[in-house]
Structure 1
Amino acid sequence: MNRVPTLAAGHAAVDFYQGAVPALVPFLVTGRGYGYVAVSGIVLAATLLSSVVQPLFGALADRRRLPWLIPVSTVLAGAGVAAGGVADSYALTWFAVALSGLGVAAYHPESARLARVASEGSHVRMSWFSLGGTLGFASAPVLVTPLLAIWGLGASPWLALPAVLGAALTLPAVRALSGGGGAARAAAPVTGRDDWPSFTRLTVVIVFRSVVYVGLSAFVALHLGGGTAGAVALFVLFAGGALGTVLGGRLAARWGRVATMRLAYGLAVPAVAGVVFVPGPAAYLFVAASSIALYVPFSLHVTLGQDFLPTRMGTASGVTLGLAVSVGGLVSPLVGAVAEASSLRTALACLVVFPALAWLLARTLREPAQAVS
């Protein structure tokens, strides 16, 4: 039985909370009077622990199988965001959102390993697993914004519901893949040599991608006016990633992962510039284009990393899948500081350089020898 759709649904539940944090930002600004630097700190809280500990969880996944961590981390991710909306101080809000980031960090390495087992190495099937996370991301503003707009931040505990449902849905698939045939395939002898130089360059590419995407997700709603206009911008940003994720798997099956990645980052440069400098409703088209271009390589990062480090698949998953959605938050306070010192447009303009750097560095990568289709 194909377990990839079930794992994708669980991935959606976890990554919903990564999208929920940016969706909370306008309500924290209007409801609590937080400034750009303060809300950047909240984004940082969601990503700091995740960025630091996700590779550690990946290394742990290489040493021992921890399937129970998938449902537990899903619930932790939801509980943190739910508590963050009702915390009565900035410090408690920061801490609660940081716990959510810890849950996200614990989830991704083990889930990516099981998804690779379930997908049997197929780029297209892995893109469907990544699509689950993208759809979870995209659904966050659609659910969070109306809920908090009507009932306020006090309704945040309801945001724990997707985590509970996701954990319950995923548990049978986790059990099936962790025993019998799934366990045998996971424990099969690994061939190939770890290519650390290529993996390191890929990691830096992911960092560049993360900086621009997290920067956009944190501030594009405010850049385009906040309120309903901002919620639409976030939805377009997140939903565009769904098309990009599926498109990436199919393009990679035809042209190869590295060639597809280079093309995507090259197109991302004018797309991100359009978000910043094109006025009016046309900006939404560039938001969509930026999202598609930045998400085409998303699932390809994961399988490339796993093939560059065939003997350390958990570590590769923790770094590639984790950093792709977390490390950019470490830079977001700097983006907020530039916005307060000059303007939000100036701060967002600084992001244009990062997809260009990703494109340049991606040109130094080559398809690994153990590539699969």
Structure 2
Amino acid sequence: MNTSLSTAALPDVELKETLHEAPTQPSRALFRVLAAISFCHLLNDMVQSLLPSIYPILKSQFHLDFVHLGMLTFTYQVVASLLQPLVGQYTDKRPMPFALPVGMTFTLAGLLLLATAPTFGWLIVAACLVGMGSAIFHPESSRIARMASGGKHGFAQSFFQVGGNTGSAIGPLLAAFIVLPQGQRGMAWFAIPALAGIAVLYRVGRWYRERNRDGVAKKQVEKHATVSLSRGRVVLALAILIALVFSKYFYLASLSSYYTFYLIQRFGVSVQTSQLMLFAFLGSAAVGTLIGGSAGDRWGRKLVIWISILGVLPFTLILPYASLFWTGVLSVIIGFVIASAFSAILVYAQELLPGRVGMISGLFFGVAFGMGGIGAAVLGKLADTTGIINVYHLCAYLPAIGLLTGFLPDIEAKRRPGAVERAAG
């Protein structure tokens, strides 16, 4: 945490030095930018993860059922999913270096409204604001992560992603010890990290502005353009990748939104115990994300996608029948394995369409949020009608969609031998 905080400094001399370095050459200055954007991803997703983390409080205080909770998640994630590709497409053509602090400001406004909302309607408005902040943050920060990758695109995206996953893991833990004892108004304490994020993102925006002014970003896109496929094959590959994202995030919705209720109902654990187990699951997902990106750089992204999506199937099938101890162990394994896919999927898609980093990032982050939102709403309704335990029996088969990976083109095999290793350093 202290190391990440130091990235807020981003000395001007290092920023100027970065502008003149080859895009594929790793440097301390580039890593500082990457660390800064990952740290802000931690803050952003930590704040945003508080929404599902305080569902037990909101359910009791506002007399909500699972459908209402699903509507909150649906609102937040669908707003984000619809806006993200539009934001990414717009900024591909018209770069907006200071869009990131603006996005974090929307998140801050939504957070403060969550802390003071008097009715369920205002909770919906707060969820919209948080979703708007996410829609601006994710495609633009993913673009900057690629710009600061030094050629290690998988590592850069996973390092960026692990910041978000770490924040998502910390959020429930902080909710258990800060928000739960104080109630809804305890959310206001998290305005402090949101303000810190705005300050750091302003510095990152200055770096982006200077880099874009010198044309370095455009040269980087041209340098890393890889293979060309027919339009039909690109569309098919993107459709398969979206289906894989659906499988991943629809299943994750069952864990991130309803895991605490599942543990409480099936095993009779306390709210704090369920939050700690949710923290363990999300923490394992953060580790899996970091390893998945580097593994994709080294052994190929298609292989990582195979292992991550289809490889988790045996564990999801066993989970509904496990004891409390083995439920905790299996959820950690599932989080680790399934989380390794997204960085590989995202970089694979970016390489299908070089020069459309913002649109591709927005599309896939948007699909991820949308699938999570739709999954939360559908599974909430299913939980109300058939029971929360039945949700986990049905969702266990979703990773079987990973079989579609076999239809993805081997774009890495089309490169010259050793191209991936040379690009990685």
Q: TM-score, normalised by structure 1?
A: 0.94
Shift of 1:159: 2.1
For 1:85 and 1:290, the matched residues in 2 are separated by 32
Identity of aligned residues (%): 24
CA change 1:323–1:15 in 2 (3 A) is farther
Q: Which moved more, 1:4-13 or 1:265-274?
A: 265-274
How big is the shift at 1:148? 1.7
TM-score w.r.t. length of structure 2: 0.83
User: Map of 1:356-367 to 2, 5 A cutoff?
Assistant: 356-357=400-401, 359-367=402-410
- What 5-or-longer segments of structure 1 have no aligned partner? none
Kept in 2: contact 1:86–1:153 (CA 8 A): yes
Report the equivalent of 1:115.
145
Q: Where do 5+ consecutive residues of structure 2 fail to align? A: 1-28, 265-269
Instruction: Find the partner of 2:262 among 206, 218, 223.
Output: 223
CA contact (8 A) 1:9 1:170 kept: no
CA distance in 2: counterparts of 1:13 and 1:280, whole angstroms: 31
Amino acid at match of 2:74: L
Deviations 1:47-72 (A, max 9, x none): 01011111111111211111211111
Offset of residue 182 of structure 1: 7.9
Q: Quick one: structure 1 residues 117 and 183, their matched pair in 2 at CA, closer, same or farther if it must change by over 3 Å?
A: farther
Secondary structure at the aligned position of 1:85 is classed as: helix
Partner residue of 2:244 out of 205, 211, 218: 205
Code of the residue aligned with 1:207 in structure 2: it is: F
Q: Secondary structure at the match of 1:362?
A: helix
What CA distance in whole angstroms lies between the structure 1 residues aligned with 2:81 and 2:250?
12
User: Which whole-Å deviations, capped at 9, do the CAs of 1:223-251 have from their partners, x for residues lacking one?
Assistant: 11150122012201211111101110232
- Aligned: 1:244 with 2:288: yes
Match of 2:98 among 57, 68, 71: 68
Report whether the alignment pairs 1:334 with 2:378: yes
Shift of 1:181: 7.1
Of 165, 181, 184, which residue of structure 2 is paired with 1:134?
165
Q: Which amino acid aligns with 2:254?
A: G
SS at structure 1 position matched to 2:148: helix
Match of 1:306 in 2: 350
SS of match in other structure, 2:354:
coil
- Which of 119, 122, 132 aligns to 1:92? It is 122
Q: Paired residue for 2:44, among 5, 14, 17? A: 14
Question: Could you say if the C-alpha distance between residues 36 and 363 of structure 1 is closer, same or farther in structure 2, counting changes exceeding 3 Å?
Answer: same
| Contact 2:81-2:135 at 8 Å conserved across structures | yes
RMSD across aligned positions (CA): 1.9
Paired with 1:16 and 1:183, the residues of 2 have a C-alpha distance of: 34
Letter in 2 for 1:355: P
Alpha-carbon offset, residue 109 of structure 1: 1.0
Residue matched to 2:180: 149
Report how far residue 18 of structure 1 moved.
Answer: 3.3
Distance 2:82 2:156 in 1: 28
Distance of 1:342 and 1:280 partners within structure 2: 21
Mapped partners of 1:294, 1:250: distance in 2: 15
Q: Is the 8 A contact 2:62 2:120 kept in 1?
A: no
Q: For 1:89-120, what per-residue CA distance to the aligned partner results, in whole angstroms no more than 9, with x for missing partners?
A: 11110111121011101111111111101013
Which residue of the partner structure matches residue 105 of structure 1? 135
| Aligned mates of 2:101, 2:370 — CA distance in 1 | 20
- Compare 360-369 and 244-253 and name the one that shifted more: 360-369
- What does the per-residue CA deviation read over 1:275-325, in whole Å, with 9 as the maximum and x for residues that have no partner? 322121221111111111121112112211111111321111111233234
Number of residue-to-residue matches in the alignment: 372
Are the counterparts in 2 of residues 196 and 308 from structure 1 also a CA contact under 8 Å?
no
* Structure 1 CA distance for aligned equivalents of residues 367 and 359 of structure 2: 12
Quote the Cα distance in structure 1 between the aligned partners of 2:240 and 2:71: 28
The answer for the alignment partner of 1:77 in structure 2 is: 107
| Contact residue 319 and residue 327 of structure 2 kept, 8 A | yes
The reply to whether residue 47 of structure 1 matches residue 77 of structure 2 is yes
SS of aligned partner of 1:310: coil
2:15 maps to none
Cα gap change, 1:85 to 1:182, in 2 (>3 Å): same
In the alignment, residue 115 of structure 1 is paired with which amino acid?
A: A
In 2: Cα distance, 1:149 partner to 1:78 partner: 20
2:166, 2:210 → 1: CA distance?
28
Cα pair 2:111 2:130 within 8 Å, conserved: yes
